[in-house]
Amino acid sequence: MSIESEVSLDGKKLTIAIKGRFDFGSHQAFRDAYERYYKVPDSYVVDLKETTYMDSSALGMLLLLRDHAGGEEAQVQVINTNSDVRKILAISNFDKLFDIN
């Protein structure tokens, strides 16, 4: 498991890429990926292209990111979801909270 984050050149978008398992063991690394920036970006992208597994604690971490980003007004996009992850997100109604691609 590894989590990498990258801010766009203009500082307005933070992309967080998760590789491997996205579970409770990722909690601190995931929080560090967005909390370490002193300037809050306008939008966030969570890239799950290389995510192999996701559990309920990962759903909680996405909610924490959404709260950090501004709650209902937050612009958080979840991209590159495989069919299994997309199913988990849909069953949990996360498609109503996040822009999922």
Domain that holds residue 56: 2-100
CATH number for the domain spanning 27: value is 3.30.750.24
User: How many domains does the structure of the chain reveal?
Assistant: 1
Predicted confidence at residue 70, as pLDDT, reads 92
3-class DSSP assignment, residue 59:
helix
- pLDDT above 90 coverage of the chain, percent: 81
Predicted confidence at residue 8, as pLDDT, reads 93
Q: Please, which pLDDT band fits residue 4 given cuts at 50, 70 and 90?
A: very high
Predicted confidence at residue 21, as pLDDT, reads 93
Radius of gyration of the chain, Cα coordinates, nearest whole angstrom: 12
The amino acid at 54: M
pLDDT at residue 64 is higher than 90: yes
For the entire predicted model, the pTM comes to: 0.93
pLDDT digits (tens, 9 = 90+) for 17-50: 999 999 999 999 999 999 988 778 999 999 999 9
Which residue is associated with the tokens 């590789």? Answer: 19
Q: Judge contact between 6 and 27, C-beta under 8 A.
A: no
Phi and psi for 96 in degrees, rounded to 5? -90, -15
pLDDT at residue 57 is higher than 90: yes
pLDDT digits (tens, 9 = 90+) for 76-87: 999 999 988 888
